Each structure stands twice: as C-alpha cells, then as structure tokens.
Structure 1
Amino acid sequence: MDHNMPGMNMTPPAAAGAPANHGNMAMTHMTFYWGKNSEILFSGWPGTRTGMYVLVLILVFIVSVLAEWLSNCRLSRSGSKSVSAGIVQTISYAIRVGLAYLLMLAVMSFNVGVLIVAIVGHAVGFLVFTSRVFRDSYDSDKISGVHTRLAC
C-alpha cells in the first residue's frame, strides 16, 4: 500500500521567516522581510551577494521610472490617425504593461527593499514626467496652440 498520497506532506514546517525548502525547489517568502538574501524574478538571483542585490534595486528603480515615462509620453502627434502612429502607440503600451508586470512580480518577492525602491521609482517618474514641476515649456506650447510632443 502506497502511503505517499498527493497533498499529504509529512515534513516539518520551516523556521519562522525562512523560505520553505522542498528538495531542490526553494519556496518564496509569503510575508514581507528585509534582507539581501532573496530571489527576485529569476531562480538564484540575486542570491546572497550584496552587489547583485544592489543591482536588482537599481534595475527595479530604473524600470519603474521607465514605466512612468511610458505612461505619460506621447510618441506620436496628437490627433494623428495613421496606421504607423497606432502601431507605435500599441507597441509603447505593450512595453509599458510588460514592465508593469515585471515590477509586480519583483514586488511579489516580498522583499521590503524592492517594494520601497519600486515606490520611489514610480514617485520620481511621476515627479519628472507628470507633475507640474517640469511642465513650464509644455504648458506654454499648449496655450499657443501647438499640440505636438515627441519627447517627454
């Protein structure tokens, strides 16, 4: 008689705060934690190396700023109805959504550092590309009737 029934795992639970380890497959944290020893987006990355963890934080920051830029950037002329303008707009949207999903997955690592860096990156992107702090030249163009903006 086979006693290894599916769903009947008899191994003891992992220590509090530590990821569970079933054989060679490490499970991710299910609560927020602070530390550089983590896996974010890829198996074994950044691992336990401090430099790689810092690189992850820098990349998450850049991707969140880039997602904000793509959210607020018009790469085609306002009112343009050409097929090429629609394709550029669609590609820009697809890239933005893909970056947003990658950010969501990175934050789902439950690493507090990644969460903070993602929020700060979105905030900096909003400040630079959306807020009125850097909008003087665009607002004067809008008042004068010019509605073309190729760069953000």
Structure 2
Amino acid sequence: MAMGTTSDGTMNMNMNMQSGMSFEWGTNAIILYSGWPGHSPGKYIVALVLVFCMAVIVEVLSSITSIKEGTGVPPMTAALSHACVYGFRVAVSYLVMLSLMSFNVGVFIVAVIGHGVGFFYVKAKALTIKQDEDMNNNV
C-alpha cells in the first residue's frame, strides 16, 4: 500500500479545515495567512482596521485620473506611473478579497464600510473641486 492511501485504495485526505464555507461571527478568524490574527481580540481589531484601510485605498486609487496634457510629463512616464498605480490597486483589491475569504462577518462589514467611506471621500472631493472650479469661472 502506497503512502497516503487507505486499504481500499482511496486517498487519505486529512482535511482539518478551521473555517467552513459560511459566514461566522467571532474574533477567532484566519485572515490572509495561517495564525493571524490568532485568538487575540486585539490582533483581530488590528486586522479589521487593516482591511478597512485597504478597502479605502482601493476606492481612492480607483479615482486617480490621467495626468493632464500640458503638465510637462512625458507620455511614457505618465503611462508607467499609471501602470504602477493600477498594479498596486489590483494587488490591494486582491488582498481585500482574500481577507473576505475568511468568511468572517466582521471582516465583511469593515470591508463594505471601507469601500463606502472611500467612495464617499472620492465623490465629496470631486464635488468640492467642481464647486471651486464653478466659483472661479463665475468670478
């Protein structure tokens, strides 16, 4: 009998999954990698703050517009800077998604709130800029 097989020839898959495929409450979650945040409520709160901040960052980076013409920035430099920002945004987006795969309700809630806060910040800033431009055009 080969190693890893049972007497009936099937694979011996010892699956010790600590989390199921349904949402769970509580501070005992595995977020991003095994052992973190562990069983500590303090580390769990730090993890929630981190997920919140990552969600806000995703929304803020999503709003970055192209560099306007006439700023003296060469097109290749502008394209490279936008590609770097895009790559960073995608990486942070994937980290938020992987955090959500912990199926922890707290992580889900702070991710949604983080995206909402980030979206609100971006839209509020855009409205403020538009109002300032309108006031300058009317003067």
TM-score (norm 1): 0.74
Q: Superposed, which structure 2 residues align to 1:104-123 within 5 Å?
A: 104-123=97-116
Indicate the residue corresponding to 1:64 in structure 2.
55
Indicate the residue corresponding to 1:15 in structure 2.
none
| Aligned counterpart for 1:46 among listed residues 37, 54, 59 | 37
Indicate the residue corresponding to 1:14 in structure 2.
none
Q: Deviations over 1:114-152 (max 9, x none)?
A: 00000000000001112xx4434411465568xxxxxxx
Q: CA deviation at 1:73?
A: 1.9
Indicate the residue corresponding to 2:68 in structure 1.
78
Aligned residue pairs, count: 129
User: Partner amino acid for 1:100?
Assistant: S
CA distance in 1, matches of 2:92, 2:36: 18
Indicate the residue corresponding to 2:7 in structure 1.
3
Structure with higher helix content: 2
SS of residue matched to 1:129: helix
CA distance in 2, matches of 1:129, 1:136: 9
Indicate the residue corresponding to 1:93 in structure 2.
86
CA distance in 2, matches of 1:94, 1:4: 49
Q: Deviations over 1:71-95 (max 9, x none)?
A: 0023x52247610000010000001
CA distance in 2, matches of 1:88, 1:52: 34
CA distance in 2, matches of 1:141, 1:85: 26
